[in-house]
Structures are given as structure tokens and as C-alpha cells.
Amino acid sequence: MTIVSIHNDNPLIDGRQSDRAMMVRRGVQRMLAEMRHAVLPELTLAGGRRADLVSLSVKGEIWIVEIKTSVEDFRVDRKWPDYRRHCDRLFFATHKDVPLDIFPEDCGLMLSDGYGAHILREAPEHRLPAPTRKSVTFAFARVAAGRLLAAELATDPRRDGPELSAIVAGRRDEPV
């Protein structure tokens, strides 16, 4: 059996993130998992924008984490203020080579090394209206279940082809 594949056939990786962004993401995911959050990368929100990471705490609080890997990455991105409408807390996450003073004070800040992360600044709470909370939570659950199914189907030799995997993996998910 082949151990290494030259094909990117993992339905849980969409391939759009840089190696550095994936490193930051891994560390933040590990930290959030230790905090008992359920974490989902690349969730499509209203308007078609995709949040880098969305987490759901054991109390039902929704966090969005926007990953920035350089000063330029932060400066060219103007979509992040829209994320506030979809979460209780908004964070930025980065790595040690990015100056921390570029990030807005009214957002939380995380520092990741790929093996873990630390919250350097807590995010202020902006409680979501109940209908928005329900919508985001429902989308989170549906996309997570679809990706789990896609991962399972990817190992099934009788799978129905890549189209089904792409659909259930959330690459065609509807905005929240």
C-alpha cells in the first residue's frame, strides 16, 4: 500500500492556504481544542466570505479567528470587519515574525508557533442575536458533518467520485 500520494485527495484540505497560514492554523486549532472548543476551518458566511477558523465553545459562544501571516496580508484585507456580525468574539492569529502592533486593539490576538498558541489579548464580547447564533451554529454543524462524511467516503473504494466529496466537504456550502 502506498504511504505517500502525489495527489491532494484529502477532502479536508482545500489547498488555498500557504504553508505559513497552515502552521498558524494548526497551533490555534490545538489551543482551541485544549479549551474544549469545536473548531471548523474555512466556514462560508453571509455574503460568501469564508472565515479562516470558527470555533464553538462548550457554552455555545462563537469565535472567529482571522489568520494573518504578514503585514501585507493584513493591509490588503478589508473583509475582516464583516466577521463581527457572525461571532461573539473576533480574534486575529499570527506568528512571531509579524509585528503585533498592526492588529486593531478592539479584536483579540493570538500568537501561534504551529504546536500551540497563546491568547495575547482577549477579544471583547459582542453577543450575537439569537437568530444569527442559530444560523451560524446550524451551518457549522452541517458543514462539519459533511466534511466528516467526505473524509469517510474518501477511504471507500466504491465512492461515487470527487464531485460528491467536494459537495459534502463544504466547498459548495451555502453562506450562513
Structural domains of the chain sorted by starting position, each given as residue range(s) with its CATH number in brackets: 19-128 (3.40.1350)
pLDDT at 73 > cutoff 60: yes
Q: Is the pLDDT of residue 78 over 90?
A: no
Query: What distance separates the 2 farthest-apart alpha carbons in the chain?
Result: 52
Average pLDDT of 53-75? 96
Other C-beta atoms closer than 10 Å to the C-beta of 76 total 9
Q: Is it the case that residue 150 has pLDDT exceeding 90?
A: no
| pTM for this predicted structure | 0.82
- What are the CA-CA distances from residue 119 to residues 56, 126, 168 (Å)? 16, 18, 32
Q: Quick check: helix, strand or coil at residue 107? A: coil
Neighbours of 43 (CB within 10 A): 22
- The overall average pLDDT reported for the chain is 86
